[in-house]
Amino acid sequence: MLCSRAEFKPGQEKLPVLRRECNGDASESALLKCVEMTVGNVMEYREQHKKVIEIPFNSTNKFQVSIHENTEPGRSSHYLLVMKG
C-alpha cells in the first residue's frame, strides 16, 4: 500500500472496513480495503515507512515509483523502492 494514495475518509473508524468511504479511484480503494482487512492498519504501516521521494503515475510513463524509509528491524537496506504500472 506504499504505492497508493488512497485513504479512508475521516471519522469512519467504527464502521466495518467494507462500508468505509475512501479518497481515491475505485481500484485503489478496493486495494486499500483488501489490505486493511487482511494485513492490518494501512496508515500505521505507511507511518513506519515514510515516503522519501515519488515519481507520480501519469499516462505517458504509465508507472509510479516511490522510495520509502525502511525501519524494520533486521533489514539490510535503509530504503525500500516500490513501483506500479
- Mean pLDDT in the chain? 93
pLDDT for the residue 65 = 96
**Measured between alpha carbons, how far is 61 from 50 in angstroms, rounded to an integer?**
24
Domain assignment of residue 64, yes or no: yes
Domain assignment of residue 24, yes or no: yes
CATH at 37: 3.40.1110.10
Give the number of domains in the chain.
Answer: 1
* 41-70: pLDDT as tens digits: 999 999 999 999 999 999 999 999 999 999
Residue 16 pLDDT class (50, 70, 90 cuts): very high
Domain containing residue 63 = 7-84
Question: Grid coordinates representing 53?
Answer: 521521494
